[in-house]
Amino acid sequence: MDIKKRARDHTSAHGKARGRLAVASIAAALATSLALAVPVPAGATARTGSAASCTKLTFWAWVPGIVRAVNAFNASHPSICVTYSNVGAGTPEYVKLAEAAKAGTGEPDVAEVEYYEIPSFEITHSLVNLVPYGANSIKNDFVPWVWQQVTQGSAVYSIPGDTGPMADYYNSVLFAKYNLTPPTTWAQFASDAAALKKADPSAYMTNFAALDLQWMLALMGQAGAFPFQYSGGSKLTIDWTGPAQMAFANYWQSLISAKEVNTTTDVSATSSADLDRGIDALWLCAGWSPSYFVEEAKLSLGDWRAAALPQSKAGEDVAADWGGSSYPVFSQSKDPQAAYTFTSWLNASMASWNITKTAPSSLFPSYKPLLDEPSFLDITNPLSGSTHPYVVFSQSAAHATYQSFPPIMTYANSDSATVFAGVLNGTETLPAAFTTFQKALVSYAKSQGFTVTT
């Protein structure tokens, strides 16, 4: 989930070339992006577990309410005592992790790390291969494409946690008013956006969150335009200017130029107000998103419904994922077996998920037993009235595809804030920004020792 309100909280809320990249360069990149991160209030450290003879573990995470699961683990595993700390959400935590790796001391045993950042820590040999400790025994408990996000070759470098399958979340009252139906193709989406703007010049079909790189990458992946290819080692493909990528940019630029989509920053007070007041009729969002909007909504409670994302071609069923975190064991851990016991329980047990699926955590699982649980699919929220939006989001989770994030995502997230600012304020087009971004990423990757294919 790029840092979203989950600091206000979860993620960004929505990350390998072994050997050749120095820890120092990764730390420098992380430090650069720190200046652009949303400030995170200092969180209190919660210390749990007190048995004098227990194996002591440290755990860093920022998911609100996750300490409840830590307490439950300590109560049910008296031989292991986990101490939980919130040292910052997303980038602030990653900076501390990189600095600890460089110093050779100070890493936690387990930490929350978003999927896109996993390669950046794997490349510095900061993560433990969890296969010798039993990771493959829980492989089939997770959605396959999510499991791929934490593996490289035969190694498993983290245990998946939550994820962000995407859907249309639309204002059913507004749609009925203008005789719209949830668009099944992107062509229909564009024509409906034009029809809505004609009927109400103050309205937009949705917002295009140009400053949220992970959101944009999720939609690019669904469109067959994901710009990275990476499978380990020192070779990396970066392609923001190929035919599929330019087609994606031109499609959205046409809607932006016609003022048929809004360009507000996503998961913000402004975007929530636009949704609530009927200025934006639809939100291209993740399974975790409604839990944030509900905090701001006042006028439209009960009006929102979930529908599958539009498709490039009628009849297709291609989904997308925006965000989510995993929980690796770090190489400085003195007891990786105990650390694995904790992270596997945290993410692959119903005892833990029965806690973290509830508020204030409200995590959307990649854990199949919960995704298939009728009680999970029956969850409602005040935005959707008596309907069950998780049914649609769960279907999306089953049909999303794996995307291979490169180990330069910290730099990419930082630089994107500058590159795409002109799209937000109307001084630059999206295709032009893609071209600028391509040059910047290729230059940076080469400076870090990668052999880059474009």
Dihedral class, residue 106 (left if φ above 0, else alpha if ψ from -120 to 50, else beta) = left
* Residue 50: predicted pLDDT: 53
Q: What angle do CA 358, 12, 338 make, to 5 degrees?
A: 60
**Cα–Cα distance, 15 to 408 (Å, whole number):** 8
Distances (CA, A) of 68 to 75, 350, 361: 11, 14, 10
- The confidence score (pLDDT) of residue 398 equals 84
| 371 within domain boundaries | yes
Asked if the structure places residue 55 within a domain, the reply is: yes
Residue 329 lies in a domain: yes
Asked whether the predicted pLDDT for residue 206 surpasses 80, the reply is yes
Q: Which amino acid is at 110?
A: V
- Looking at per-residue confidence, does 231 or 203 come out higher? 203
Confidence of residue 18 (pLDDT cuts 50, 70, 90): very low
Answer for the pair 17, 236: CB distance below 8 angstroms, yes or no: yes
Q: 153 in a domain, yes or no? A: yes
CA 99 to chain centre: 23
**Mean pLDDT, range 26-50, rounded to an integer:** 39
Q: CA 246 to CA 335: how far, in whole Å?
A: 48
Weakest-pLDDT range from 35-39, 191-195, 289-293, 337-341: 35-39
Paired with 367 in beta bridges are 142
The mean pLDDT of the chain is: 88
Q: What pTM value is reported for the model?
A: 0.85
Is residue 159 situated within a structural domain?
Answer: yes
**Which of 45-54, 113-122, 129-138, 166-175 has the weakest average pLDDT?**
45-54
- On the 0-12 / 13-18 / 19+ scale of CB atoms within 10 A, 53 is exposed
Residue 207 has pLDDT above 50, yes or no: yes
Domain total in the chain: 1
Q: Flag whether pLDDT at 243 surpasses 50.
A: yes
ω into 360 cis (within 30 of 0): yes
- Would you place residue 72 in the very low, low, confident or very high pLDDT band (cuts 50, 70, 90)? very high
Read off the pLDDT of residues 356-366 as tens digits, 9 standing for 90 and up.
Answer: 998 889 899 99
Q: Provide the residue type at 98 as one letter.
A: A
The answer to whether 60 and 111 have CB atoms below 8 angstroms apart is yes
pLDDT-derived band at 76, boundaries 50, 70, 90: very high
Name the pLDDT band for 110 (thresholds 50, 70, 90): very high
* Domain assignment of residue 144, yes or no: yes
Secondary structure of 270-320 as H, E, C letters: HHHHHHHCCCECEEEEECCCHHHHHHHCCCCCCCEEEECCCECCCCCCCCC
Q: How far is CA 280 from CA 121, 174, 209, 443, in A?
A: 38, 9, 12, 37
What DSSP designation does 226 have?
Answer: -
Strand pairing report for 80-85 and 110-111: unpaired
Does the residue 95 lie in any domain? yes
The total number of residues written for the chain in this structure: 454
Q: pLDDT grade, residue 264 (50/70/90)?
A: confident
Tokens 């009252």 -> residue? 173
Q: Please report which confidence band the pLDDT of residue 31 belongs to, taking 50, 70 and 90 as the band edges.
A: very low
Number of separate helices (H) and strands (E) present in the chain: 19, 15
Contacts of 186 (CB under 8 A, 6+ apart): 223, 251, 310, 311, 312
Structure tokens at 1: 């989930």
Mean pLDDT confidence for 326-342: 98
- Domain with 356, as residue range(s), is 23-163+323-382
Tell me which residue of 209, 287, 265 sits closest to 10, measured CA to CA. Answer: 287
- Return d(Cα 82, Cα 58) in angstroms, integer: 6
Which CATH number is 56's domain given?
3.40.190.10
Structure tokens at 130: 């969890």
Mean pLDDT of 46-67: 82
Of the listed ranges 13-17, 301-305, 350-354, the least confidently predicted one is: 13-17
Report yes or no on 292 lying in a domain. no
**DSSP assignment string, 37-57:** SPP-PPPPPEE----TTSEEE
Report the amino acid identity of residue 425: N
What pLDDT is attached to residue 32?
34
